[in-house]
Structure 1
Amino acid sequence: MQTATDKSNEVGLDDINIVESAKTKKAITAAALGNTIEWFDFGVYGYVAYVLGKVFFPNTSPSLQLIATLAAFSIPFVFRPIGGIIFGFLGDKYGRKHILAITIMIMTLSTCGIGLIPSYESIGIWAPILLLIVKIAQGISVGGEYAGAAIFVAEYSPDRKRGFMASWLDFGSIAGFLIGAGTVSFISSMVGEHSFAEWGWRIPFLLSLPLGLVGMYLRNALEETPAYKKATENAEKKIPFREVLTTHKRSLWVCVGIVVSTDVVYYMLLTYLPSYFTHNLHYPSNRGEMVTIGVMFGMLFLQLFIGWLSDKVGRRPFIFAGSLSLIFLSYPAFMLMTSGVESLMFAGLFILALSVNMLLGIMAATIPALFPTDIRYSALAAAFNISIVFAGLTPTVTAALVENTGNLMIPAYYLIVFGFVGLITAFYFKETANKPLYGTAPIAEDHQEAKELLEVFHENIEEKVQKIDEKMDELSQKREKLVSQHPELK
């Protein structure tokens, strides 16, 4: 007979979270806007890096100006784990929506602040110092942003559509980059190169303010996620974060592997390559921008398709495919990009974009599913932001290596190394598609789907119990054999 405790632990139809599609869409829009602002800044920063070098580091050579500007981009990544730890802890304690409202506010103000900093000619050494301070503040806020947004979307998404729903998060990233790069190109063409270098570069950064205000309004209007509310209502026992390092060691390493292998190629493609084309390949900046923007438009739609397809075939095949693509196609891609032929250059960029999409299209749906609700924000933010430190150094390290060696294939070798990181991760990764989030009851879109998910949930439990029973029988037989060999244990 079942005891009262057994009954209280049963998962029935009332335990299935049913989330209306309208609420899911609102959650996705509010979460994706933060990513849009983050990557709006990255898109603008990457495309005006050559101008910022002249504004903030005028007394150095063009090569050192570029490296110094990219370093100002990369150094804040060191501070992202601090933001991840702070906002991760607060997000698990006080809820997801409140922390996401705070992070988008800090991120918006710091991005806007870049456009308000006077030049080196006006205030001297304080100009680059202020740039670094603002970028550090931005890094701390972003430390809690992506992890929180990914969790927010994952905890609002039905299990059977989590891949597609979460793919909109990085759709926002790519869209933000496109809007940023497009804004730079538009303003530059309207005011002319000279005026753009004098004052026009400030406009794109200032435009982040209205975007951020809209994002803050949408996030404040949302309800807390169903998974977090249920965990709070049940007053589940909190897991000390130090136990995460032992209890969830495999999940932490898998998270690190996915994030590093994805974001290294992401930052290479979106942040470093615009400067690589202009500075190293001497390609006209406006032409390079148009080719890159064209590839990014293709990535937008491919991102959503891969997210949708991962709900059908799983996330693991895409981690394998994206990693193998980096290993075997990175060198050919850079051979095409350095050929000097625009059509071949476009083809090389498309190969890298495809590699990015295969990994990025499943990342936001995958990494929140690795950890239980109580420590999901803390664990994911810590693992994600420690990983992102390595990825964020990609533009600076690659630029320095290319300058010191004169070898234009260095970026390809760099990507190949991290392709192997992704491949190893794929071997250790356990499939999460169409399954509930770790330690969470299934999430459905309607009542009928809730019934279907409950049946599948119970079937999975039955399979696990059967495997345990088989293991127990095997251990029992081994025990009897050992006991039979001992005179006193018979």
Structure 2
Amino acid sequence: MSGHSGPVKASRAVAELPRPVREELSRRLGRRERAYGTDDVQVVEGPLLKRAVGASALGNCMEWFDFGVYSYLAATIGKVFFPGASPGAQVLSSFATFAAAFVVRPLGGLVFGPLGDRLGRQKVLATTMIMMAAGTFAIGLIPSYHTIGIAAPILLLVARMVQGFSTGGEYGGATTFVAEYSPDRRRGFLSSWLDFGTFVGYALGSALVTILNMVLTDEQMLSWGWRLPFLIAGPLGVIGLYMRLKLEESPAFQQQLDEHEKSLAQGSAGSEFKTIVTRHWRPLLICMGLVLLYNVTNYMVTGFLPTYQTETLHRSSGSADVLVLIGMVWIVVLITFIGRFSDRIGRRPVYGVSAAALIVLAVPSFQLIKKDGTWPPVCGVLILSTLLACFAAPSAATLPALFPTAIRYAAMGIGFNLAVAAFGGTTPLVTEALVNVTGDDLMPAYYLMLAGVIGLVTVKFLPETAQVPLNGSQPMVGSREEQQELITASKELYRDVGKGSSPGGDSPTPSAHPSGP
């Protein structure tokens, strides 16, 4: 009987693999001269993985601390830097400055993305961290319009553009870094901690502003109180920089180090951009569609909803701030559970069901938010926050998996930042303008419905990447035991590939990934 234990063990190992994983491994093994060995399957050490996830999440936390502060202080900032305008024009001017940062984000992605592919992810992420901290800290030091006149809003615009430029390399690099460190079976869960940091940062920023609004008078907030949240970014940036300088390069980047050095000597950022646009246009469009779905919902809830309640629904800033803060805390609670869930059932079902739900529930959610009382608005915000968590949780695992290692950072920098600049950061400005022009306070809901339709169409073309090795990278596992299980399964798959069929009678199907080891 012992002579049959090997084949039985191998069959069991293959049967336990999800079908997309079996098909992807069959495809890769079909191009190899042997099954996987110990050197072919990368084991990620626990301490390194924790540091990589923690340092990346802290960067996102800091970025969104700033966005939370700016969103909640939009009306105050409008009064400080645009005092001569009407209240509506002040809010629009503040949101226009907010949106200006997104105009330069694609430029930041075009610069930092290729550098991250050629020089390394860790170096670029350390650079974006310090630039982001400097830009945020500078906002807290800018004199008011009454002190230096027109130079005040100009300096605010410059500081926001520094933030936007650095952010152009931040999220794409952080998602690439975490995805390349994560074991394949847990990539959704581990990558969701990146957006966990995003919403923790936003919640901390909004909570701080809420507290300041409660303990300070309006005159104190206008005079000096609004500066305090921005000045906190300096110490946070130093801590984040220290953590990122302690990181090692991702395993996937190290695996292709020779190719990266060769491209550094022979290639250029321009040629890499041409390659991405001409050869990887399909995953680039998929990336932009998913980013549109996620970020229109994101900025509608985080950037627009606080001001919508105060300026359109005429509620107190305190109640508006607390309501959105409840939604942010709810997202923080949900997001890692949804990330783990996406590892089990796949990314496509999570995106597809949530996009359909957004189309159906956008208008009812805003109708609840408009109602008087406590619980209807809370329920409306919780519905939108739950859908936002469903879009955010799988994003950091899904988007980097669309591209091969050699161009992953640059492609993420282009696709993510173009979509955010065009549709995400402009959401507060566009929806506020639509409400003012039409007089219809449900325009934000219609805007969300349109994003849901675009997202649903995008999901139709999205390849399933849950538990599948990253395109162009070795399989990643979290333990020696998991490594041996995968090696055992690969031996049987390799024999079946040689016979022209895959286990269980399923023929290997073409993968959405054009290349791999």
- Above 0.5 in TM-score? yes
- For 2:464, the equivalent position in structure 1 comes to 431
Q: Which moved more, 1:336-345 or 1:359-368?
A: 336-345
Matches of residues 260-271 of structure 1 in structure 2 within 5 Å? 260-271=292-303
**TM-score calculated relative to the size of structure 1:** 0.91
User: Does residue 1:212 correspond to 2:237, yes or no?
Assistant: yes
Instruction: Indicate how the Cα distance of structure 1 residues 264 and 455 shifts in structure 2: closer, same or farther if over 3 A, else same.
Output: farther
User: Does residue 1:281 correspond to 2:313, yes or no?
Assistant: yes
User: Does residue 1:37 correspond to 2:62, yes or no?
Assistant: yes
Matches of residues 390-405 of structure 1 in structure 2 within 5 Å? 390-405=423-438
Instruction: Confirm or deny: 8 A CA contact 1:56 1:127 kept in the other structure.
Output: yes
- The alignment partner of 1:336 has SS state of helix
Corresponding letter in the other structure for 1:400: A
Matches of residues 313-332 of structure 1 in structure 2 within 5 Å? 313-332=345-364
- For 1:442, the equivalent position in structure 2 comes to 475
- For residue 47 of structure 2, the aligned residue among 22, 27, 50 is 22
- For residue 223 of structure 2, the aligned residue among 179, 198, 219 is 198
C-alpha distance in 1, partners of 2:32/2:192? 38
- For 2:3, the equivalent position in structure 1 comes to none
- The alignment partner of 2:128 has SS state of helix
Task: Tell me the CA shift for residue 457 of structure 1.
Answer: 5.5
Matches of residues 42-191 of structure 1 in structure 2 within 5 Å? 42-191=67-216
Instruction: Confirm or deny: 8 A CA contact 2:354 2:390 kept in the other structure.
Output: yes
C-alpha distance in 2, partners of 1:47/1:257? 28
- The alignment partner of 2:471 has SS state of coil
- For residue 281 of structure 2, the aligned residue among 246, 249, 264 is 249
- The alignment partner of 1:201 has SS state of helix
C-alpha distance in 2, partners of 1:463/1:430? 24
C-alpha distance in 2, partners of 1:460/1:254? 30
C-alpha distance in 2, partners of 1:461/1:364? 31
Instruction: Indicate how the Cα distance of structure 1 residues 286 and 94 shifts in structure 2: closer, same or farther if over 3 A, else same.
Output: same
- For 1:478, the equivalent position in structure 2 comes to none
- For 1:296, the equivalent position in structure 2 comes to 328
Instruction: Confirm or deny: 8 A CA contact 1:442 1:457 kept in the other structure.
Output: no
Instruction: Confirm or deny: 8 A CA contact 2:35 2:490 kept in the other structure.
Output: no
Task: Tell me the CA shift for residue 246 of structure 1.
Answer: 2.9
C-alpha distance in 2, partners of 1:68/1:212? 28
Task: Tell me the CA shift for residue 36 of structure 1.
Answer: 0.6
**TM-score calculated relative to the size of structure 2:** 0.87
Task: Tell me the CA shift for residue 10 of structure 1.
Answer: 6.6
C-alpha distance in 1, partners of 2:260/2:384? 46
Instruction: Confirm or deny: 8 A CA contact 2:213 2:318 kept in the other structure.
Output: no
- The alignment partner of 2:465 has SS state of coil
Instruction: Confirm or deny: 8 A CA contact 1:321 1:358 kept in the other structure.
Output: no
Instruction: Indicate how the Cα distance of structure 1 residues 334 and 471 shifts in structure 2: closer, same or farther if over 3 A, else same.
Output: closer
Instruction: Indicate how the Cα distance of structure 1 residues 467 and 114 shifts in structure 2: closer, same or farther if over 3 A, else same.
Output: farther
C-alpha distance in 1, partners of 2:368/2:494? 51
Matches of residues 464-475 of structure 1 in structure 2 within 5 Å? 466=500
Instruction: Indicate how the Cα distance of structure 1 residues 418 and 246 shifts in structure 2: closer, same or farther if over 3 A, else same.
Output: same
CA deviation string 1:156-197 (max 9, x = no partner) = 111111000000000000000000011112223233332012
Instruction: Indicate how the Cα distance of structure 1 residues 462 and 352 shifts in structure 2: closer, same or farther if over 3 A, else same.
Output: farther
Higher-RCO chain (CA-CA 8 Å, sequence separation at least 6): 2
Instruction: Confirm or deny: 8 A CA contact 2:177 2:250 kept in the other structure.
Output: yes
Give the gaps of 5 or more residues in structure 2: 1-30, 509-517
C-alpha distance in 2, partners of 1:43/1:218? 23
Instruction: Indicate how the Cα distance of structure 1 residues 460 and 246 shifts in structure 2: closer, same or farther if over 3 A, else same.
Output: farther
Corresponding letter in the other structure for 1:298: W
User: Does residue 1:354 correspond to 2:379, yes or no?
Assistant: no
Matches of residues 300-311 of structure 1 in structure 2 within 5 Å? 300-311=332-343
What fraction of aligned residue pairs are identical, expressed as a percent? Answer: 43
Q: Which moved more, 1:335-344 or 1:27-36?
A: 335-344
Corresponding letter in the other structure for 2:277: L
Matches of residues 404-423 of structure 1 in structure 2 within 5 Å? 404-423=437-456
Instruction: Confirm or deny: 8 A CA contact 1:326 1:355 kept in the other structure.
Output: yes
- For residue 339 of structure 1, the aligned residue among 371, 378, 393 is 371
- For 2:400, the equivalent position in structure 1 comes to 368
C-alpha distance in 2, partners of 1:189/1:437? 48
C-alpha distance in 1, partners of 2:92/2:246? 42
Task: Tell me the CA shift for residue 434 of structure 1.
Answer: 0.3
Instruction: Indicate how the Cα distance of structure 1 residues 55 and 344 shifts in structure 2: closer, same or farther if over 3 A, else same.
Output: same
C-alpha distance in 1, partners of 2:444/2:110? 31
- For 2:18, the equivalent position in structure 1 comes to none
- The alignment partner of 2:393 has SS state of helix
Task: Tell me the CA shift for residue 439 of structure 1.
Answer: 1.2
CA deviation string 1:116-162 (max 9, x = no partner) = 11101111111111111110111000000000000111111111110
C-alpha distance in 2, partners of 1:86/1:187? 38
- The alignment partner of 1:435 has SS state of coil
- For 2:486, the equivalent position in structure 1 comes to 453
C-alpha distance in 2, partners of 1:388/1:210? 28
Corresponding letter in the other structure for 1:404: V
- For 1:485, the equivalent position in structure 2 comes to none
Task: Tell me the CA shift for residue 454 of structure 1.
Answer: 3.6
Instruction: Confirm or deny: 8 A CA contact 1:442 1:454 kept in the other structure.
Output: no
